[in-house]
Structure 1
């Protein structure tokens, strides 16, 4: 093959040799920050070849193998004539070409390819090295199958969306390549890549697994972890803007309730607010819950993230197709590892915790814009003064939009996993809905990030107006640096203006993780 790279390879590589990967590896691959590289070690190559060779011997001995010499699913009682066995894998991805909805984004698609490659590299799927290399080439050259997001019930894994990966490996359907939608056959030919002819079992190996839901879960976890930190920083700003009481985050107070997450959030707030502590003798001893209880709300997400990481990474590092091929014991093991229950639970739970954080920030904004509750700030955080104050409305509409985004996020929190349906002639009679849960979670994150972007405008405005009302605030280094950065991005809102471009710019910054927040 004559292969020309479309750009310089990233300096760092993620090696696929069956060893454990992290969700950060998948996220880095999704952003093209590193390259995918299959191991060339003799041990790895032998392990992959042993499984394929074992299947070849079984076929030669007229062995009965599900999905190889039989039909799929409920059709497992149908015996395939030997001369038709080579065609069966291609029929599998062909009849599953019925996806709908939006296409996965380039980042999501790269994560799917990486996640499927990680599973097959475990060496217990009975595939040949040619399949693994073809997946590696898609990642290396950024040839991205156009994968419809909808159509998976999460068991037998992500059959329909992964059929688009299988088809592209074989030179069929369409890809996104260098900014254009093109036929897969045309792109593979341009790069000198020969379309794959699937070996027996390889159609099942590609499609019968949890790669889509797990890939989306990796991306969701990373976004949720950053949102958790941003919500903490925004809360610190809002305590200052509201002339709130920083002693609500006292170390001794949190020592008596030993949840680690709220303790970490409170500790971060103490560092952020150490330079400006209101007096203990203020008449208002207690702030409203959205400030006083912020560590308790954000802390639920903070505590849940490590658990979700474990579940996602265990799935990422699993062999999750069926049947499993044991090359050492020379056994074909029929089971249900394609069931995405752990991802479904993690995503259903994560979207709940994230939406609650969005709701917390929405409540903080409602206090900030209301002159009855913001302790001396102008109505709607308007920066207009004099007679022009009468015709300016500040962040009134921003608060309405934040309320809408929050409500929609909360509406999405109904667990997808409780809607299991019996499918495929009752063969798949209990399914995970893990991919729907993951897509829901990403939508909740998208809405919550919009809330965060709006809150960054509001907190920048609120702190500046507090300084105007009460005089210069003594901000700690982290808050001072971030307030200065926000000031450059968002001019003070004095005269009414459209804020949508600034919101979009902030969303881009949030998703690029441009602010360094708290140390681990």
Structure 2
């Protein structure tokens, strides 16, 4: 069983993926120091609630912030908050994403700024340890707190909402627990993290796919030469060019290519891939901060002995980073479609149109362009920015939204579409290399070719390519590690 250390400070994006991909119980290790810090925050929150106004504990929420809640009514007030906010709708969130959300929320609570009761923290940890996953709906957030998904989770722990898998004995929701539990973007961060690491895999795999296309097209290695990229050393661009040189075995003086200048799909690959690599790196940095931050409003600071009302629920960093990542990946995806167009063109390959191998009029891989451009169109729609819009809710008191939730969903859609597009290019590149009986001996890219040949049907007659595309998608994880 995977064991993840949860201390409010050191959770990794990779740990979130492990949680999502682990079926059943999850090993959770919580240091005693983190539990003590959380308990100290809880005791301070209870004390402060008797001395001053504390939003969501002694008041209503949103536009009801001026409504005072009596001490006698505080427990029921918390349950009313959870019940009223557990209005999620739409499809059920996948179990893996819910587990990722639960892990992130547990880690944030252990950062010690929520003032939540140790009872609810312990219940959330035990749910993860037992593989219990609540029913959480997809719709109900706009990037200013995942109120509906987290309210549904809290009510499941309290015994008032159903479980998707497993179950746990109900626990008491203490005074002040409701807003403290809901005040987070853990569901959005879960989806964003899963998408970010998937995009990282896909962009790394795209180097191997592009290298196979380069070999099938007899590309010109000058475009990847070290001196070229030293002249304009953006980190991602330099890294992409170096990776292409490694895969193609052109670290030393390369032989000339077939053409003086290749089409942009090959020649401009580092310049277009570079921004995507940099954007995904930045996105991961943003998420690493978010999943290890105490973002609850109000923040109960044991270090300063006070409560602070703030706007950490606003996730502008996340939405902006996701917008940038999706936009840059879209540009790289366009190059993949362009290389696919080159691979079916006899002028570039010296082979028959559409890499056909049957009688005259055979269509070969013609359909791949249609599938690829269908996927590219979906990707293009998902790449549109969410940060150009806003929302005014709660009687005007909450007058801006980041829509990071929608940006994360769009990133998930980008992952699906880009994987399909890369698979189409891979199928065509491997077919071209097979038709040419290419000898890739001594090149690191040979490993990619061998793995692809092992799973792609070698038959060259006209036939459905659905299974080949699916196999190509499955292969991308392995290609990212070559």
TM tier, shorter chain? over 0.9
Which among 150, 153, 159 is matched to residue 139 of structure 2?
Answer: 150
Kept in 2, the 8 Å contact 1:232–1:298? The answer is no
Q: Does 1:199 pair with 2:174?
A: yes
Match of 2:125 in 1: 136
Match of 1:5 in 2: none
Kept in 2, the 8 Å contact 1:154–1:431? The answer is yes
Distance in 2 (CA, whole Å) between partners of 1:266 and 1:367 is 20
Aligned alpha-carbon RMSD (Å): 2.1
Q: Which runs of 5+ in 1 are unaligned?
A: 1-9, 178-186
Secondary structure at the aligned position of 1:474 is classed as coil
Q: Does 1:397 pair with 2:367?
A: yes
Secondary structure at the aligned position of 2:40 is classed as helix
Between 1:457-466 and 1:116-125, the stretch displaced more is 457-466
Distance in 2 (CA, whole Å) between partners of 1:97 and 1:502 is 43
Match of 2:158 in 1: 170
- Equivalences for 1:27-38 in 2 at 5 Å? 27-32=17-22, 35-38=26-29
Which among 68, 78, 94 is matched to residue 89 of structure 1?
Answer: 78
Kept in 2, the 8 Å contact 1:405–1:448? The answer is yes
| Deviation (angstroms), 1:62 | 5.8
| Deviation (angstroms), 1:199 | 1.4
Secondary structure at the aligned position of 2:349 is classed as coil
Secondary structure at the aligned position of 1:422 is classed as coil
Match of 1:300 in 2: 275
| Deviation (angstroms), 1:331 | 0.8
- For the structure 1 residues 94 and 270, does the alpha-carbon distance in structure 2 shift closer, same or farther, using more than 3 Å as the test? same
**C-alpha offsets along residues 384-436 of structure 1, whole Å, 9 cap, x if unaligned?**
2xxx243x311111111101111221122221122111111112111111111
Q: Does 1:495 pair with 2:461?
A: yes
Q: Does 1:70 pair with 2:87?
A: no
| Deviation (angstroms), 1:77 | 0.9
Secondary structure at the aligned position of 1:417 is classed as coil
Match of 1:19 in 2: 9
For these two proteins, the number of residue pairs brought into alignment is 480
- For the structure 1 residues 65 and 22, does the alpha-carbon distance in structure 2 shift closer, same or farther, using more than 3 Å as the test? same
- For the structure 1 residues 281 and 271, does the alpha-carbon distance in structure 2 shift closer, same or farther, using more than 3 Å as the test? closer
- For the structure 1 residues 308 and 463, does the alpha-carbon distance in structure 2 shift closer, same or farther, using more than 3 Å as the test? same
Q: Does 1:260 pair with 2:226?
A: no
Q: Does 1:442 pair with 2:433?
A: no
- Equivalences for 1:299-318 in 2 at 5 Å? 299-318=274-293
| Deviation (angstroms), 1:240 | 0.9
TM-score (norm 1): 0.88
Distance in 2 (CA, whole Å) between partners of 1:263 and 1:46 is 46
| Deviation (angstroms), 1:67 | 0.7
| Deviation (angstroms), 1:122 | 0.5
Q: Does 1:362 pair with 2:353?
A: no
Distance in 1 (CA, whole Å) between partners of 2:221 and 2:464 is 34
Q: Does 1:380 pair with 2:354?
A: yes
| Deviation (angstroms), 1:58 | 3.5
Q: Does 1:280 pair with 2:256?
A: yes
Secondary structure at the aligned position of 1:101 is classed as strand
Secondary structure at the aligned position of 2:163 is classed as strand
| Deviation (angstroms), 1:516 | 5.0
Distance in 1 (CA, whole Å) between partners of 2:257 and 2:118 is 72
- For the structure 1 residues 383 and 93, does the alpha-carbon distance in structure 2 shift closer, same or farther, using more than 3 Å as the test? farther
Kept in 2, the 8 Å contact 1:383–1:493? The answer is no
**C-alpha offsets along residues 465-500 of structure 1, whole Å, 9 cap, x if unaligned?**
232xxxx42344432222122112111241222222
